[in-house]
Copies of this chain bind each other. A is one copy, B any other.
């Protein structure tokens, strides 16, 4: 199913504005009612954030944006739409009144939904005509990026309305979670609220500050929670013995005052059997070892993603890498190094996120490996952090040849031959080898230009660097010239 043509929104604040962004950028027209005189400015700013985020998120082009209209009444928001979504403040009477007013104007088949964080749908529908078409659809901030939406019907909600809502929100790229029983706070906010209440106690009791509480989450369990919830995480924590072992090991701790939440369910044999069975189903036959591997793969990628923004665990990683780089650092050329063969300065492995739709490493990953090799070469020439403050080699030209495919898990190594140089330029030839069988997978011929990094223009390299270049070039001059050096591209007809 494609996204709906038009929806009506009651409220355009943090949540309502997020809905507006998700709908508009998904190609749906939006009729927005919000009595706040600042609503238009606030929504405009949120739309800018959303456009920027969604534009970067996906390479697949978004559909043409929907049209936004501000309307003067809740009833006007409900005209000619497929869905009315209420996102007013968490006051029962206010929500009831808004929903009732919109319902009168809405056609009989229009879905009516509330974004409430925790009020029960039966109570929200109390004042409403045709309550069978009403449900809670609870999203998470920012609505235009987070996929979760909890769907919860009330006592009078028709089952097919839940199903229609599931399809509709799914068409927006969301992940609808149908709540099995009507309950205050639904599923997600019950856990968020438990965590929040415990966090308030920690600050109240002077155990930790707000920033420390946040660090306690984002530097540890929060990293796992971005891709695995609490049950699958604990299955892994049970080690090879799995979920039943974990429940046995940490079951007694439930009785201990490890949180203010001391009213806990009895771990009866029935409950343990139920959890173990659900956990087995969730694991889909994957062993703990496979789940550990998956967890680590995800953690590596998430940590790298956060390193790029220098935030939280990514900032910790960046700091540690800088310390390691200062301490260990890439090897610098020594007087007794053997220069009679091409230099072997870099090796790596084809990672899962390198593989493209053709089943092999994307072409840009080959250049990433050659670029890392160039960096190892620069370090070898004595270019360190201090040097980079004033000078650096920039790549000006690269000629790549692909001979064989690099596949997931292949261990790679690169050798480098210096072909030519002057005081500003350096001409090298890299060969990329598969370690298992020494097969030549690709080559890269590169021309670097030495640059004054402040002035951003060509300038001679330092004499210490040039002396090392000269020694390598002299030694490499006796090597055979690589077969693919000096190539240009043409089809021979």
Contact = CB atoms under 8 A, between A and B. Distances in A.
A53 to B, nearest CB: 4
Nearest to A398: B400
Given A239-B14, A263-B260, A368-B364, A225 B218 contact: yes
A164 interface: no
Given A203-B274, A215-B148, A278-B211, A142 B295 contact: yes
Contact of A305 (B265, B302, B317, B487): B302
Contacts of A386: none
Given A188-B220, A194-B197, A405-B456, A427 B490 contact: yes
A327 B225 CA distance: 32
A352 interface: yes
A183 interface: yes
A321 to B, nearest CB: 5
Given A53-B296, A261-B260, A317 B192 contact: no
Interface string A44-58: 010001001101111
A475 to B, nearest CB: 18
B231 A214 contact: yes
A33 interface: no
A394 to B, nearest CB: 6
A223 interface: yes
Interface stretch (A95-103, A124-132, A332-340, A417-425): A417-425
A293 interface: yes
Contacts of A185: 256-259
A313 B232 contact: no
Contact of A226 (B218, B353, B368): B218
Contacts of A208: 179-180, 187
A474 to B, nearest CB: 16
Contacts of A214: 228-232, 282
Contact of A230 (B196, B201, B226, B263): B196
A209 interface: yes
Nearest to A246: B14
A13 interface: yes
21 contacts: A42-B239, A45-B289, A61-B328, A118-B256, A146-B299, A148-B313, A177-B219, A184-B257, A191-B259, A193-B253, A200-B265, A200-B275, A201-B264, A203-B274, A204-B265, A213-B229, A302-B306, A309-B353, A358-B453, A363-B367, A446-B489
